[in-house]
Structure 1
Amino acid sequence: MVSLTERLKAKLGRKAPLKPLDAQARPVSNTTESHPPARPDSNKSPTSLPERLWDQAYDQAKASNLSTVSVYEKILSARLREQDANISEYPDSAELESQKNEIAHTADERRGQMQRLVNHGLRRTERDAELKQGMEDGIQAALAVKEVVDKAVQASPEAAIAWVGVCFALEIMMNPLTQASSNRRGIAYVLSRMDWYWNLSSLLLDENITEANSQPLRGELEKVVTDLYSRLLLFQMKSVCYYHRGRLSVFARDLIKLNDWDGELSAIQAAEAAVQADSAQYNTVSIRNRLGEIAETARSQNVKLDSISSAIREQTRQQEMIHETSADNTCLAELRLTDPRDDRRRIEETKGGLLKDSYRWVLENTGFQRWRNDPQNPLLWIKADPGKGKTMLLCGVIDELQQSMGATDLLSYFFCQASDSRINNANAVLRGLMYVLICQQPSLISHVRKKYDHAGKTLFEDANAWIALSDMFKAMVQDLEKRNTVLVVDALDECIADLPKLLDLVVSTSSSSTPIKWLLSSRNESHIEQKLRAIDAQGKLSLELKENAEHVSHAVNIYIDTKLSHLESMEDEDLMIQVREVLRQKANGTFLWVALVVRELEKPECWDPLQVVQEAPEDLYQFYDRMMTQIENLAARNSEMCRRMLAIATLAYRPLSLMELGSLCALTTSQGSALAKISRKLVAMCGSFLTVRDDQVYLVHQSAKDYLSSKMGDTVFPSESQIHHTLFARSLELMSGTLKRDIYDLIEPGFLMDQFQVPVNDPLAHVHYSCIYWVDHLHYSILGKSSKDDGSVQKLLQERVTNEFLRKKFLYWLEALSLLAFCHDSTRLASASNDNTIKTWDTNSGTNFQTLKGHTSSISSVAFSHDSVQIASASDDKTVKVWDASSGICLKTLEGHDGCVKSVVFSYDSARLASASDDTTARIWDASSGICLQILKRHSDSVYSVAFTHDATQLATASRDRTIKVWDANSGECLQTLEGHAGQVNSVAFSHDSVLLVSASDDGTVKIWDATSGAILQTLEGHGGYVQSVVFSDDSTRLASASDDNTAKVWDVSSGACLHTLKGHSKYVRSVAFSHDSTRLASTSKDGTVKIWDVSSNSGGTFPPTPMGHSDLVNSVNFSHDSAYLASASDDRTVRIWDHSLITPPG
């Protein structure tokens, strides 16, 4: 019989100890003996058997797969640095690439580092477990593994080398969305069996408990166990590298093959099987039973650990749903200007409530019934003169429709109001209609989110808002093709801005092919009639037609009866009958006239109601004349204040609060409730022109506003421009006396908008309107001047007080605007100049106070015109700005892109500009007028770079879709598409003779192309990261490239040889530019610096002192054509101009 000893010898002798660990890795040595563990000091206790085996396994892994272990040790070194510096965030790829490998070569020192890492990892596991509740089994399993690690390290602190990877693996299991499923399964398997692995060496190989006759094979079995441990360590190391793959450089990722996880796990299991087979008869039954018990526990833990992945994925899915809901709510909140449902309730309450008998007739009207029931009649237009009750009629119809519509039907509405700039334009109408629709059918928000997620709130407010809103609205209409939907718009005549566009949209969506029905109302105005001329007579309902007028008159009579029944002065029935008859005779079917007379009857001083109604003029405007006469007959002071109050209320851009109106009228020095009380008294003296609701002051009707506006400039009121000037001057006076630093006493500057509460006694309450609209009043006070009165003296005064205010209070004003969450389209400041013009700028721009600040987001690119007169900048705020290079004044802002603008360049004759954008297009602009000449639309993904040929006849574009396209710059025709890069193309440039084209890509290469044929002439390799930028020298003999590997390189175009590698930036290099004599190169970096390099032919690429100033990533740099100046653009939203002579050393 063959002995166990012989069988093991034969088994171990006829085969290598398992297949190589990594067939593709180049082994440093064929044996582990060339890397023996360091001999411990005599003063230190000898290492235990498990420690020694794990040390040997680590050295064996390093010998067989040096590249993986090196990257792993860099990650461990970075984690050690984080612990020492108490840093919570991971290093980026550039930082990790430059990280020094600080893991010790000696076993003793290495164990100390590993122990620190284990302790840190265990704390992370506890923290992650606390954060991930609701997955008890999986978390308990993870904590059970943590307990094993904890006990092992406490019992033998030097054993940490075996457990560092376990701690990383626990972290990975807590964040499974970053890993491949096969890798997760392998990690769960290894984690669950770590107790088995650790005890394996002690139980199988301990000299004190193994059988004596098996001692000769102890060394052979030790090798098999060590090989298993080495495979385990390599699996853990590769998993850690895979977990951090996003922070590894391209070169490092290519060194490590991180794809065959199933094969890696199979190799571990094969190694386990070899250990078990070779030791089957080697140890006692009790030892094998003990290992079996541990293995059974491991199987249970494996199942639970594997459940972590699915549990966390489910938790993440739920969190994503919560996040989506939150994002939907934010989008909906920013879409909302006002809630039309609240506007409707306000209108009904202000007008005394809804009387069903006053509108019931229209529900039975033939025209209304036809519109409601016939799919071939999708639009009904109700028209009438002022005061006929159109708005309340629609409120009643809305109420009836809500009660009768089916569960799946939708109803949205909007009430225009000319006196409120927030709801008197077509954009506001669409926003209101969409807001109410989305509140009823939340899934419709997806049509808004498609664009909103990229643009934010400016989508609803910028120059292209109507285009975006109408597109979203049309998409919603298409989505509602199976839902009965009614859209109601009241008072179209009070839609001041873009009404023709709104009416065109109404008509275009009023086809019988869609279930959308429109109900509109307005005055009898010809321009509305003309736009709705396509509607046949059946789609128009005039309240003045005889049969309808009778119904309206009856409704007015009901309104009269209701109003008189609530008057205390009408207790005498005979008196009530007389008053009622007079009102019915004089009302002429006008609700407003009745409402105004009733308000006169409600006044305490009305002691003879019959006389009041008898003397009331029958014509509405004559009634207004009478009210104005009464105001003029008040005491002089009261009369003056009432006229001032009416003038201000008429020209204000929105309804004012009692405190705002009182402050603007300079009624008193009192503030708060005292000011509001005085204002309310003055409002009551203003006849019936004004009404108060919830402390907000409203004009009683649009006809009242029309009447008061007609009086501007006569003996009653000053001219409109004078009133605007009064509002401007008073606003500056109020703000100058109110605004101060930290006006809400927040102390800390880092408050988010939803983290603070407005004080009970809001110090900004009385200047809220002034903070937002003073610029508009300044603007119109100047535009309103006649040719006879150019207002030069007043204008100079305006300049002086404006400059004084901005000099002293500018920052406090910006703080107030942010606290008031101001509306985007009112964030303007103005400067009046001696050339009789006024320029309006965005408040974020600061152009008049500091050169070249104006973009509201990161600036991606900057370019000088070739005559060095102008500078163009491209920004993530979707605009291109053109600046005067000398004064720093913003000459024009080019708008039109729907995504971040990534690149901008002038044509050589400076006549045109080209821009590239995330919206997948490039645009060509007239540099003088700012008109968009061409939109180039053939790329399938973001466009990152543009370049003109020298004669400006062609344009090249580089894209994320991995292609370069060459276009005819005049016709916009795509001439050719260049393919060859394996990653996104970040930059493109023509040589100055336009013969060559060069491109830079994420695939780590620079390619030189024949610009005519599109053939690849050379591929330049050498960078260790993405190549971000590339540029030709002026003489086209060299080119420069910028890379994520923290370097710039200079290449010989003819040979493709690398002439210089420029090292000095501490983070990745974003952009490069040659001076026009080709002796200097400028580079920009994430480290916030711009460096100037000497790249003359005999230079070694040394660089002078670095100009500083930017506080964030510097994205782009460019020399002026005469090389006298350098412009740089940064994520800090600024463009900086440098004097090249001051940053270039002499000689």
Structure 2
Amino acid sequence: LLLDENKKEQSSAELRRQLETHVVQLYKKLLSYQVKSVCLYHRNWVAVVLRDGLRLDDWAGRLDDIKKAEAAVKEDMGQYNTEQIKEHLRILNNTAESAEKTISQMLFRIEEIAKEQLQAQRDLAKERLSKEQQRCHQLFRLTTSSKDVTYEWYKDRVEERVEGTGMWFLEHDRFQTWLNQESGPLLVSADPGCGKSVLAKYLIDHKLPRLATICYFFFKDQDQNTVKQALCALLHQLFSLKPLLIKHAMPQFRKDGQGLVSSTESLWKILRKAIQDPQTGPVIIVLDALDECAQSEFTDLVRNVESQFRSDQSSYGKLKYLLTCRPYDQILSKFRILLDAFPNIHIPGEEESKTISQEVNHVIRHRIDQLAIEKRFTAQIKDHLEKQLRETAHRTYLWVYLVFDYLKKDDFKRTLNGVKSAIAILPKTINEAYEQILNKAKDDPMIPKVLRIILAASRPLTLSEMNVAVNIDDKCQSIDDLDLEDDEDFKARLRSWCGLFVSIHQDSIYFLHQTAREFLLADLASPKTLSSQLHWHHSITTRQAHAVLAELCVLYLNLFNSTDTDEEDRHQFLDYSATAWGAHFRKAGFIDDDIVIPSALRICDTGSNSYSV
């Protein structure tokens, strides 16, 4: 009954000593009782009667003491048994944890081996593909150099999901139903900054079933916003995972050659045929941020998605779509046919704002833990900061990102009063956060110039292109007058002007978020959204933005009429300005007596150097 003497736990040692003491006491009392009983047997009966009458031996009391000692031993034994059970449970728990760790390591290794085998199969299949088929496959990867961004890059740049977030969607009955069914669409809508892209990335990388072929595309306004780009990305992924399906693209490739990727109709046709192939198996297509798809192409995109479920569904095998967008009527109304046919396919995240705000608290705690380590907060400061941030109304993931960027950079006192002062000036909304960022260098004329250029540009400009563009003015007489910094120095200057409002990825310049563009554009303003307290909010019209960029392009091209240079950095803006100036000029709506008109006419002169470049 006793535990192992080698056990080191203090509680076990105490119990052991207590049990030993009570067992010894019990046996002492038993032996004493038995010895006295034997002595009693050998006494004269008169003496026995006399002693009993006087109760000199107190047999009842001795028997009661034995019973009490026995009860104490039983109680100790019960405690011992409980402790022993606990000890065994601890051992079992440790064994289980060790086994779980071992199994996890084995599963990880099995997964790695499976990936290696899958890659080997792909490599083998690729070797079996003809050179013509490989050229066709590579055509769908819309890049011209190693510096070009790819569809993978747009997914990978999205933040990772924080544990405990997105549960409003992951535990939703409609998502679970969609996950378990063989085919069908699922539409997820939510307000800006509520983590739709983070959720889409998590589903692609971790949650969606691995047995299915998962293809994805993340729309990005002005950069990755066409249906053609989406279809090429989907087909490239599909043919990478199922190389033999390339056969469905070959007839059209032989007919159109490189022009195949410019025909949206042909790309849809190839995708349909590939999905209908029995060898394809289950396919899940994830399209994120449909609201950033080019407006002129959105209706066609929805119509083609609908057609795959409106017709004979069996012909499309096990096809599923997961679509994310903002809850705008002009977007959701396009899905009316699908919503009527599948009434349970829409998960409106905009109706889960309270739940999402609670989940944002997980991110707040996560970011505070990181900040506390970096700035060495006391527990009191940490708790106070978390409490104040959690009490902010309408908090979103984007708001948290902006606020913590400020807290990380601001050199406030590491005291309770210092934190209170920092909290007092924190922005309460995303718009206030944007205003605060841009107001740090409010009077610098370069800031509105940069913002107008980014707003109007038909694609994200590179650092080198922007470096040239912002240095162009009407004082420049030749290309050599451009006062250009090194790209890294210019990158730092751009950061000092615009802060987090502008992001730079792979040397290309973007707004931090689509809401940043909407914050600036006056075209999107309504009387309710205008605020006299915000200097930058809705401060730029589309026409103003195009006028600035058109003038810069025209002035730059005219510099080649004066002189030319062999310095490569001064030619960085040439390709963009030569191809895009006309579009910006039209959208700017210049009138006849605008100062830029004569310069524009010189570009159109067939005898000028600017025309020839």
> Aligned AA for 1:724?
H
279, 287, 298: which is aligned to 1:489?
287
Larger helix percent: 2
CA contact (8 A) 1:570 1:576 kept: no
In structure 1, C-alpha distance between the alignment counterparts of 2:559 and 2:599, rounded to whole Å:
17
Distance of aligned partners of 1:480 and 1:544 in 2 relative to their CA distance in 1, 3 Å threshold: farther
In structure 1, the residue matched to 2:162 is 355
Q: Does 1:782 align with 2:586?
A: yes
Superposed displacement of residue 438, structure 1: 1.7
Query: Structure 1's 320 and 440: CA in aligned 2 closer, same or farther, altered over 3 A?
Result: closer
Is 1:650 paired with 2:455?
yes
Looking at structure 2, the residues matched to 653 and 419 of structure 1 have their Cα atoms a distance apart, in angstroms, of: 6
Whole-Å separation in 2 of the counterparts to 1:773 and 1:523: 33
Specify whether residues 809 and 596 from structure 1 end up closer, same or farther in structure 2 by C-alpha distance, changes over 3 A only: same
Please say if residues 558 and 602 of structure 2, whose CA atoms lie closer than 8 Å, have aligned partners that are also in contact.
Answer: no
Distance 1:595 1:711, change over 3 A: farther
Contact 2:252 2:260 in 1 (8 A): yes
Task: Provide the residue aligned with 2:512 in structure 1.
Answer: 700
How much does 1:629 deviate?
4.1
* 1:344 pairs with 2:148: no
Quote the offset at 1:595 in angstroms: 0.8
CA contact (8 A) 1:642 1:685 kept: yes
- For the residues of structure 2 that align with 1:398 and 1:580, how far apart are their CA atoms? 31
Task: Tell me which amino acid in the other structure corresponds to 1:720.
Answer: T
Give the secondary-structure state (helix, strand or coil) at the position aligned to 2:375.
helix
Q: What amino acid is aligned across from residue 452 of structure 1 in structure 2?
A: F
| Equivalence for 2:226 | 425
Q: Which residue of 2 aligns with 1:620?
A: 430
SS in 2 for 1:616: coil
Distance change >3 Å, CA 658–CA 373, structure 1 → 2: same
| Residues 393-420 of structure 1 deviation map (CA, whole Å, 9 limit, x = unaligned) | 1111111246x412xx211101111142
Aligned residue in 2 for 1:611: 421
Q: Structure 1 residues 334, 703: CA separation in 2 closer, same or farther (over 3 Å shift)?
A: closer
Q: Take 2:577 and 2:344, find their aligned partners in 1: how far apart are those partners?
A: 44
What is the deviation of 1:569?
A: 3.2
Tell whether 2:197 aligns with 1:391: yes
Contact kept in structure 2, 1:564 and 1:570, CA below 8 Å: no
Cα displacement string for residues 13-58 of structure 1 (whole angstroms, at most 9, x for unaligned residues): xxxxxxxxxxxxxxxxxxxxxxxxxxxxxxxxxxxxxxxxxxxxxx
Q: Look up the match of 1:583.
A: 389
Q: Shift of the alpha carbon at 1:614?
A: 3.0
Q: Which residue of 2 aligns with 1:528?
A: 331
1:541 deviation in Å? Answer: 1.0
Report SS of the residue matched to 2:214. Answer: strand
Aligned residue identity for 1:565: D
Q: Among residues 396, 401, 410, which one is paired with 2:213 in the alignment?
A: 410
| Matching residue's letter, 1:782 | R
Match of 1:726 in 2: 548
Offset of residue 517 of structure 1: 0.3
Residues in 2 aligned to 1:765 and 1:606: alpha-carbon distance in whole angstroms:
41
Q: Secondary structure at the match of 1:357?
A: coil
Deviations 1:495-524 (A, max 9, x none): 123101101111111354231100010001
What is the distance in 2 between the residues matched to 1:480 and 1:615? 60
Structure 2 match to 1:500: 299
Give 1:641's match in structure 2, choosing from 415, 434, 446: 446
RMSD: 3.5
8 A contact 1:334–1:457 mirrored in 2: no
Cα distance, 1:425–1:320 mapped onto 2, change above 3 Å: closer
Which is strand-richer, 1 or 2? 1
8 A contact 1:722–1:781 mirrored in 2: no
Correspondence for 2:80:
none
| Alignment partners' CA distance in 2, 1:385 and 1:766 | 42
Give 2:603's aligned residue. Answer: 802
Q: Are residues 803 and 712 of structure 1, via their aligned partners in 2, closer, same or farther at CA, if it must alter by over 3 Å? A: farther
Give me the identity figure in percent: 22
Secondary structure at the aligned position of 2:500 is classed as coil
Q: How far apart in 2 are the matches of 1:722 and 1:529?
A: 31
Q: 1:516 — aligned with what?
A: 319
CA deviation vs aligned residue, 1:737-771 (integer Å, no higher than 9, x gap) = 68999999xxxxxxxxxxxxxxxxxx656755551
Shift of 1:492: 0.5
Evaluate the alpha carbon distance shift between residue 726 and residue 415 of structure 1 in structure 2; reply closer, same or farther with a 3 A threshold: same
Task: Using the TM superposition, give the Cα deviation of residue 579 of structure 1 relative to its aligned residue in structure 2, in angstroms.
Answer: 1.6
Residue of structure 2 in register with 1:574 after alignment? 380
Provide, for residues 197-246 of structure 1, a one-character-per-residue CA deviation record: whole Å limited to 9, x for no partner: xxxxxxxxxxxxxxxxxxxxxxxxxxxxxxxxxxxxxxxxxxxxxxxxxx
2:412 and 2:451 map into 1 onto residues whose CA distance is 23
In 1, Cα distance between the equivalents of 2:367 and 2:169? Answer: 21
Question: Does 2:224 align with 1:435?
Answer: no
Q: What are the Cα deviations for residues 452-490 of structure 1, in whole angstroms up to 9, with x where unaligned?
A: 2232323323xxx22222222222222267511000001
TM-score between the two structures when normalised by the length of structure 2: 0.66
Distance in 2 separating the partners of 1:345 and 1:626: 28
How many residue pairs get aligned? The number is 453
Tell me how far 1:735 sits from its aligned partner.
5.5
- Whole-angstrom distance in 1 between the partners of 2:506 and 2:207: 28
Show the counterpart of 2:495. Answer: 683
- Structure 1's 453 and 737: CA in aligned 2 closer, same or farther, altered over 3 A? farther
* Residue 321 to residue 405, structure 1, CA distance change in 2 (3 Å): closer
Alpha-carbon distance in 2 for matches of 1:411, 1:739:
53
Match of 2:271 in 1: 473
Task: Look up the match of 1:373.
Answer: 180
Structure 1: segments with no counterpart, 5+ residues: 1-317, 745-762, 814-1147
Q: SS at 2:286's partner residue?
A: strand
CA offset digits 1:300-322 (Å, max 9, x no partner):
xxxxxxxxxxxxxxxxxx99965
2:117 paired with 1:332:
no
Distance change in 2, residues 1:727/1:572 (3 Å) = same
Counterpart for residue 561 of structure 1:
365
Deviates more, 1:549-558 or 1:391-400: 549-558
Secondary structure of 2:591's aligned partner: coil
Q: AA paired with 1:328?
A: C
Within 1, Cα distance between the matches of 2:393 and 2:349? Answer: 15
Cα deviation, 1:523-558, whole Å, max 9, x if unaligned, reads 01112222212324421112232xx44542233111
**1:828 is matched with which residue?**
none
Corresponding letter in the other structure for 1:772: Y
How far is the alpha carbon of 1:699 from its aligned partner?
0.8
Alignment CA distance shift 1:676-1:322 (3 Å): same
Is the CA contact 1:731–1:767 (under 8 Å) kept in the aligned structure 2?
no
**What SS does the corresponding residue of 1:793 show, helix, strand or coil?**
coil
TM-aligned CA distance change 1:743 to 1:368, over 3 Å? farther
Q: Residue type matched to 1:504 in 2?
A: R
Q: Which amino acid is the alignment partner of residue 340 of structure 1?
A: Y
Q: CA contact under 8 A between 1:659 and 1:671: conserved in structure 2?
A: no
- Based on CA coordinates, which of the two structures has the bigger radius of gyration? 1
User: Conserved in 2, the CA contact under 8 Å of 1:651 and 1:724?
Assistant: yes
**Contact 1:503–1:532 (CA<8 Å) still a contact in 2?**
yes
Q: CA–CA distance in 2 between the matches of 1:437 and 1:379?
A: 18
* Alpha-carbon offset, residue 719 of structure 1: 4.6
Distance in 1, Cα, partners of 2:354 & 2:571: 49
Supply the distance in 1 between the matched residues of 2:553 and 2:490 (Cα, whole angstroms): 19
1:50-73 deviation per Cα after TM superposition (whole angstroms, max 9, x unaligned): xxxxxxxxxxxxxxxxxxxxxxxx
SS of corresponding position for 1:566: helix
